[in-house]
Chain A
């Protein structure tokens, strides 16, 4: 790698655009460049088989465990923390208000980054709407808590996130107008939420047939009609944003590793 990496990379976008694939590919790329990097799937169920197949370095987090750790530290007692987390009241509180759990997870990851200055985390974030829940959680809960120990910690999180050297967000989209429109909406809202870090949010186009044919030097005129139409729909978008090609494989580990080999050009 020619430049120092950021500390936290977030891959987000609407469902099904290939966030997980690109986030894993990027993690593998950083790892192969000698970076101490870990992949985090936030609160989604981890794809254990795939992670194993590509020997992905991961950091696993669970809302309950992270919350217990946090409360334990604040109250100087792990016993009390574990009791608190077992009460119906707290259990339901976390279920009713997912944003609270998001913030605690997010905080946990930032803690890890502050503890180990060499660590880089690639975060595979939930789909668009829920990614905003995650990003909004710090300012939302700051408004709620106003003062107290939590607000100090929220300030610390916001501080970390607002440093341009720390955070880089990739909004992933497919090469279609509808998908792009949604990605641009999301980017605008993220820029709005993470003020001062606008330059650090960018768009990545994934799974483009046009890019595939370009890379393979295939003359578009020999394509069947349905692929010509696809290429036509992608044409404007592909030339405007950084684009990853369609991968003509069916095996997930192979797809991730192929994309990983294309990551260097992206940077």
Chain B
């Protein structure tokens, strides 16, 4: 089966199936073929940090990984980045010259690594990296499970936020957005409107300080509206077959077929026909070779493990036309896992 070369490759799936390891192996296999690759992990668990031994300074820096790490040619490499919402936001602030506006407790707190804006900022970061146009392929290791859908929908959320909510409030503030005045003076400008009522209710619950700072923060984000909206292009591009490959990763050791199925159904809206089901940690070959002998417990164990794998195989062939199988690797070093999986990628990628 040939995996066609694309600008973007997305790795998604439920948690703990080896998504990050597989995505890293894919990056390695493309780098070995001489491709210029960037691997971005949006996983807040940041497993990539452990695998590649990158230091996590939360600076969103691009790390060049030379392939000697995997006992290959030191002159070849790929780039890797741990997504940092804070760094992405800071760069945006710098571009727009909005340093003081972004020096807000609200914005700082929300853009902390676990502040909850990970997915939204990631989609902006990917767009920025794409526009640099220096990579043949950008590989995205997405957040696990349901958050992967959140990630895909984040551009929709951005659109809603700016199109509807912001405009609702800033219709009144329009002039001053362009003149750059401080938001607090606007509150007095808002006369009896629905928005005023809304803000007064908000004030009753949260206190007046918050409402003032919140309006400042919203205003700062609003000034970066362009950057947010450019990211919307990304979602449209992803739907094009010529642009992206989708990898849905699942693992034999987990009974998460229903989740994999749910993801497929939810993602169908975004996925085109170039998508692959990755069956990770397959034991088939080992189980076939295992001569159990008279021990009943072991016979039962073998039977239940075999059934588990057969069930997944059934699910895979019924629901997916492209299935990639990767054998379980029992090795203590994650680097060895990546190295062996990348070889499997290279072998799979033959007609």
Taking the closest CB of chain A, its distance from the CB of B221, in whole angstroms, is 9
Which single member of B110, B209, B330 contacts A146 (CB below 8 Å)? Answer: B209
Check B334 against A178 for contact (C-beta < 8 Å): yes
A128→B47 CA distance, assembly (Å): 11
Tell me, yes or no, whether A2 is within 8 Å of chain B by CB. no
Check A102 against B116 for contact (C-beta < 8 Å): yes
Check B298 against A14 for contact (C-beta < 8 Å): no
Contact with B along A116-147 (1 / 0, CB 8 A): 00000000001111101100110011011111
B15 — which chain A residues lie within 8 A by C-beta? 14-16, 127
Check A143 against B307 for contact (C-beta < 8 Å): no
B residues 111-130 near A (Cβ < 8 Å) are 112-118, 120
Binds A, one of B27-35, B175-183, B248-256, B317-325: B248-256
Check B286 against A224 for contact (C-beta < 8 Å): yes
Tell me, yes or no, whether B301 is within 8 Å of chain A by CB. yes
Tell me, yes or no, whether A266 is within 8 Å of chain B by CB. no
A145 — which chain B residues lie within 8 A by C-beta? 206-207, 210
Binds B, one of A24-32, A83-91, A155-163: A83-91
Check A44 against B146 for contact (C-beta < 8 Å): yes
Contact with B along A91-102 (1 / 0, CB 8 A): 111011111101
Check A224 against B16 for contact (C-beta < 8 Å): no
Tell me, yes or no, whether A75 is within 8 Å of chain B by CB. yes
A234→B276 CA distance, assembly (Å): 31
Check B206 against A150 for contact (C-beta < 8 Å): yes
Tell me, yes or no, whether A262 is within 8 Å of chain B by CB. no
A87→B165 CA distance, assembly (Å): 8
A16→B16 CA distance, assembly (Å): 4
User: Given A97-B117, A182-B50, A218-B297, are A92 and B161 also a contact pair (CB < 8 Å)?
Assistant: yes
B106 — which chain A residues lie within 8 A by C-beta? 144
Binds A, one of B38-46, B63-71, B91-99, B340-348: B38-46
Tell me, yes or no, whether A165 is within 8 Å of chain B by CB. no
A93 — which chain B residues lie within 8 A by C-beta? 165
B residues 196-220 near A (Cβ < 8 Å) are 198, 201, 204-210, 213
Which single member of B43, B113, B304, B334 contacts A249 (CB below 8 Å)? Answer: B304
A96→B150 CA distance, assembly (Å): 10
Number of interface residues of B (CB under 8 A): 73
A259→B168 CA distance, assembly (Å): 53
Task: Place the interface of chain A in its size category.
Answer: 35 or more
Can you name 10 extra interface pairs (CB under 8 A) apart from A75-B201, A174-B16? A15-B17, A16-B16, A84-B201, A87-B168, A88-B165, A89-B168, A145-B207, A248-B304, A250-B308, A250-B311
A interface vs B, CB < 8 Å?
Answer: 14-17, 44-45, 71, 74-75, 80, 84, 87-89, 91-93, 95-100, 102, 126-130, 132-133, 136-137, 140-141, 143-151, 174, 177-179, 181-182, 207, 212, 216, 218, 222-226, 229-230, 233, 248-250, 252
B interface vs A, CB < 8 Å?
Answer: 14-17, 43-47, 50-51, 105-106, 109-110, 112-118, 120, 143-147, 150, 157-158, 160-161, 164-165, 168-169, 198, 201, 204-210, 213, 251, 253-256, 262, 283, 286, 289-291, 293, 295, 297-298, 300-301, 304-305, 307-308, 311, 328, 330, 332, 334
A-B contact pairs, 23 of them (CB 8 A): A15-B15, A15-B145, A16-B254, A16-B256, A44-B145, A75-B201, A92-B161, A96-B120, A97-B110, A99-B115, A129-B45, A129-B113, A129-B118, A140-B110, A140-B115, A144-B110, A145-B206, A150-B206, A218-B298, A230-B330, A233-B330, A248-B301, A250-B304
